[in-house]
Amino acid sequence: MKLFDRTNFYYIVFSVIIYVLVGASFYLVVEHVIYQEVEQRLKVERRDFENFVRAHGVWDESCYFVENKIELTALADTLVPVTEFKDTLLYNRYNNEYVPFREYSFVSHVGGAPHKVTIRKSLIESRTLLKSITGIMMAVLSLGLLVLFLFQRRIARRIWAPFYQTLSRAKSFDLNEGKGLTLTPEEIFEFNELNSVLNKVTDKIARDYTSLKEFTENASHEIQTPLALINSRVEELIQQRNFSDEQMRWIQDIYQSALRLSKLHQALLLLSKIEHGQFFEWETINLTEAMANKLEEFEEIFTHKTIKVQFTKTGAFNVQMHPVLADVLITNLLSNAVKHNHAQGIIDIVGTGHTLRVSNTGSALTTSPERLFERFKKQNQSSSSLGLGLAIVKKICESYHLAIQYSFDEGMHTLTISSPTAGE
Amino acid sequence: MKVLVVEDEMGLAESIAAHLTKDGFITETVFNYESALEKISLYTYDCVVVDINLPDGIGFDIVETLKKIKASSGIIIISARHALEDKIKSLDIGSDDYLTKPFHLSELNARVKSLLRRRHFGGSNEISFQEIRVNYISRKVFVGETEVTLSKKEYDLLLYFMSNIEVALTKPAMAEHLWGDNIDSADSFDMLYSHIKNLRKKLTDKGSKDYIHSIYGIGYKFGKN
pLDDT at residue A63, as a whole number: 59
User: Would the CB atoms of B104 and A235 count as touching at under 8 Å?
Assistant: yes
**Phi, psi of A94, rounded to the nearest 5 degrees:** -80, -40
pLDDT at residue B157, as a whole number: 92
Residue B28 C-alpha from the chain's centroid: 17
How far are the Cα atoms of B43, B99, B191 from residue A228, in angstroms, in the given order? 28, 11, 26
User: Would the CB atoms of A227 and B101 count as touching at under 8 Å?
Assistant: yes
Q: Using one digit for the tens of pLDDT, what is the confidence trace for B126-168?
A: 888 888 988 888 888 999 889 999 998 899 999 999 888 888 8
Contact between B31 and B10 (Cβ < 8 Å): yes
pLDDT at residue A424, as a whole number: 41
Domains of chain B in start order, with CATH, are 2-121 (3.40.50.2300), 151-222 (1.10.10.10)
CA distance A226 to B111: 22
User: Which residue in B183, B198, B221, B225 has the most chain A C-beta atoms within 10 A of its own C-beta, making it the best mutation to test that interface?
Assistant: B183
pLDDT at residue B28, as a whole number: 93
Looking at residue B165, the DSSP 8-state letter turns out to be B
CA distance A230 to B72: 32
pLDDT band at B122 (very low <50, low <70, confident <90, very high): low
Cβ within 8 Å of residue B103, ≥6 positions away: A228, A231, B78
From the CA of B124, how many Å to the nearest CA of chain A? 30
Which residue numbers of B have CB closer than 8 Å to A's CBs? 9, 11-12, 15-16, 18-19, 22, 53, 80-84, 100-106, 153, 167-168, 170, 172-173, 179, 181-187, 190-191, 194, 215-218
pLDDT at residue A130, as a whole number: 84
Cβ within 8 Å of residue B131, ≥6 positions away: B143, B144, B207, B208, B209
Cβ contacts (< 8 Å) between A339 and chain B: which residues? 184
Contact between A99 and A122 (Cβ < 8 Å): yes
pLDDT at residue B155, as a whole number: 92
pLDDT band at B3 (very low <50, low <70, confident <90, very high): very high
pLDDT band at B27 (very low <50, low <70, confident <90, very high): very high
pLDDT at residue B199, as a whole number: 93
pLDDT at residue A423, as a whole number: 46
CA distance A237 to A231: 10
Q: CA nearest A30: which of A120, A115, A138, A151?
A: A138
Contact between B206 and B194 (Cβ < 8 Å): no
Could you tell me which chain A residue has the CA closest to the CA of B179?
A297
pLDDT under 50 in chain A at which residues? 422-424
Residue contacts between A and B (CB atoms, under 8 Å): 106
User: Would the CB atoms of B12 and A238 count as touching at under 8 Å?
Assistant: no
DSSP H stretches of helix in chain B: 10-22, 33-42, 59-68, 84-92, 105-119, 152-163, 171-179, 185-205
pLDDT band at B197 (very low <50, low <70, confident <90, very high): very high
CA distance A20 to B60: 78
Contact between A316 and A288 (Cβ < 8 Å): yes
Average pLDDT, chain B: 86
Q: Using one digit for the tens of pLDDT, what is the confidence trace for A228-267?
A: 889 888 888 888 878 888 888 888 889 888 888 888 888 8
Highest mean pLDDT among A363-367, B2-6, B40-44: B2-6
